[in-house]
Amino acid sequence: MIKVGLNIGNSKISCAVIEIKDNNNIKLLSCESYPSKILKKNIITNFNELLSEVRSLINESEKKSHTKINSINLNIPTVESISKYYDSEINNINSEITELDIRKAINNSDYFAVKEDYFEILNNIYGYILDNNLLFNSPVGNYANYLKILFYKILIPYKTLNSYKNIIDKLNIKIDNFVPSPLSSSLAVLSEDEKMIGSICIDLGHSNTSISIFENNNFIYGDSVLVGSNNITNDIARGVSTTLDSAERLKTLYSSLISAPSDEYEIIEVPIISGENDKFVQINRLKINSIVKPRVEETLEMIWQKLKQNNLDKKQIKNVVLTGGGSQLEGISQYAEMIFSSNVRIGFPKEDIIPDKNLINSSFSDVIGSSLFNPDVFLDKILDKQGKKHKKQGFKGFFNWLDQYI
């Protein structure tokens, strides 16, 4: 089976093609990317030009993978998304928990609630409470007096979704799934053990930084902040009065979040913006670090505040995985350890997919994760085939089916 992930980002567009074999082994057939600056803070500034770039990328991906791309999983940013936790409970059961009890609880919840102008990109059951016991798998067959189902959903503005969808529609390609960007990256880099014991995945992208949390193999949170590694580049350009290209080079080659005594004496010659041609200034590495550190600290602090707003800091998750282009900053894992008081590692796409890290770096985690997305893992965990069918038909079909049992 061939699966394709597509990411339309603020600095590049990328496409990953994988083959899933009968034994569930995964082979990366191609992973292509083109630089692109048509998106500005996730807004398309030139539709036709972006359409042309995506068409070229798809054509190149087809050539490299030797396959025809008819459908994709499309990565969607979550900067303007709404994350919502909700629950539903049934009291006085005093008997064996059945599928009917669970369906009744779903019927009484916001599972089918619609918010105007928003698309439900994910609606996930992440736990059950039976009396005072927390379970993460189906509680059917247990005896209890009280049942509560815990839900988590992500809503995306239709204006965001339709802007991306319009590009793909023009190419006559089917969209199999919309994949929230925080989830994409975590699927590519988190191990099964990390997803089980609890981990935070932070994707430090060009213009956005996304956060996802897995616990007990359940996706329990995903969000983004509108700050990325490009903000660091802009800070350096302003702080040194140099060009953006030069600032990007200084960030990539010389910046570090863990300063050394020698940084004060390591001198770098930098072109500056002035009325004179070929004018340079000498700065030390310490100067660059002093510009980079506050922005990285601000970004990680914004993430921490997001976790606190949703009471996720109380979970005391002790594993953090950094990925994305910004994770390549020197010393960032040690710096993040101080911010989060957690174990921190740099996450690359899994070795069983990408055996050689030199071929694909961490900036491709999101698009590879999009290709790996399987909706059956996250959606409709407790509805049987008949329930799934009616849910897809809409509210009326589901409730008509449910009425025969209630």
- Residue 383 sits in the same domain as residue 317: no
Q: How far is CA 326 from CA 191, 203, 231, 371, in A?
A: 21, 8, 11, 22
pLDDT tens profile 304-316: 999 998 888 878 8
39 located within any domain = no
Closest CA relative to residue 214, chosen from 96, 319, 68: 319
> Which pairing describes strands 71-76 and 2-8: parallel, antiparallel, or unpaired?
parallel
Residue 30 lies in a domain: no
pLDDT at 34: 93
- Rg (C-alpha) for the chain, rounded Å, is 23
388 and 323 part of one domain: no
pLDDT tens for each residue of 269-288: 999 887 667 788 999 999 99
- What pLDDT, on the 0 to 100 scale, is given for residue 379? 59
Rounded CA separation 141/88 (Å): 19
Kindly state whether residue 197 falls inside one of the protein's structural domains: yes
Mean pLDDT of all residues in 31-40: 91
Which domain covers residue 143, as residue numbers? 82-158+378-403
Distance separating alpha carbons of residues 397 and 137, to the nearest angstrom: 27
Q: What is the pLDDT averaged over residues 148-157?
A: 93
Q: 218 and 306, same structural domain?
A: yes
Name the one residue in this structure whose structure tokens are 């975590």. 186
Q: What 3-state class would DSSP assign to 257?
A: coil
Q: Is 299 helix (H, G, I), strand (E, B) or coil?
A: helix
What are φ and ψ of residue 168, in 5° steps?
-70, -40
Query: Do 317 and 208 belong to one domain?
Result: yes
Last residue of a domain, one of 307, 329, 349: 349
In a domain, 320, yes or no: yes
Mean pLDDT of 228-235: 95
Please provide residue 95's backbone torsions phi and psi, each rounded to the nearest 5 degrees: -165, -170
- Together in a domain, 104 and 206: no
Based on the fold, state whether residues 332 and 391 are members of the same structural domain: no
Among 339, 110, 303, smallest CA distance to 213 is for 303
394: left (phi over 0), alpha (psi -120 to 50) or beta: left
Tokens at 146, concatenated: 């009280």
Asked if 216 and 300 sit in the same domain, the reply is yes
Q: Which CATH number do you get for residue 283? A: 3.30.420.40
Say whether both 232 and 113 belong to one domain.
Answer: no
pLDDT in tens, 76-88: 999 889 999 999 9
For the segment 121-150, what is each residue's pLDDT rounded down to a tens digit?
998 889 999 998 999 888 999 998 999 999
Query: Does residue 287 contact residue 192 with C-beta atoms inside 8 Å?
Result: no
Q: Are residues 339 and 201 in the same domain?
A: yes
User: Over the stretch 337-390, which tens digit does the pLDDT of each residue have?
Assistant: 988 889 999 999 887 777 666 667 888 999 999 999 998 877 544 544 334 433
**Residue 157: which pLDDT band, with cuts at 50, 70 and 90?**
very high
Q: 341 and 383 in one domain?
A: no
Cβ-contact 181, 210 below 8 angstroms:
yes
- Orientation of helix 47-65 relative to helix 158-170, angle to 10°: 60
Check residue 142 and give left, alpha or beta (phi > 0: left; psi -120 to 50: alpha): beta
pLDDT at residue 389, as a whole number: 39
In the predicted model, is pLDDT for residue 245 greater than 70?
yes
Determine, yes or no, domain membership for 315.
yes
State how far the Cα of 325 lies from the Cα of 310, in Å rounded to an integer.
Answer: 27
Query: 249 in a domain, yes or no?
Result: yes
Helices (H), 177-284: 181-189, 192-197, 229-240, 244-254
Look at residue 191 in the predicted model and tell me its pLDDT: 93
**Residue 297 falls inside a structural domain:** yes
**321 and 263 inside one domain:** yes
Which of the pair, 353 or 399, is modelled with greater confidence? Answer: 353
Eight-state DSSP code of residue 327: G
pLDDT band, residue 401 (cuts 50/70/90): very low
Q: What is the CATH number of the domain that holds 86?
A: 3.30.1490.110
DSSP assignment letter at 230: H
- Is 57 a domain residue? no
φ, ψ for residue 310, nearest 5 deg: -105, 15
d(CA 249, CA 259): 18
Residues 268 and 328 in one domain: yes
- Residue-averaged pLDDT of the chain: 88
Return the pLDDT at 162.
93
When divided into structural domains, the chain yields a total of: 2
Q: Are strands 43-44 and 39-40 parallel, antiparallel or unpaired?
A: antiparallel
| Percent of the chain scoring above 70 in pLDDT | 91
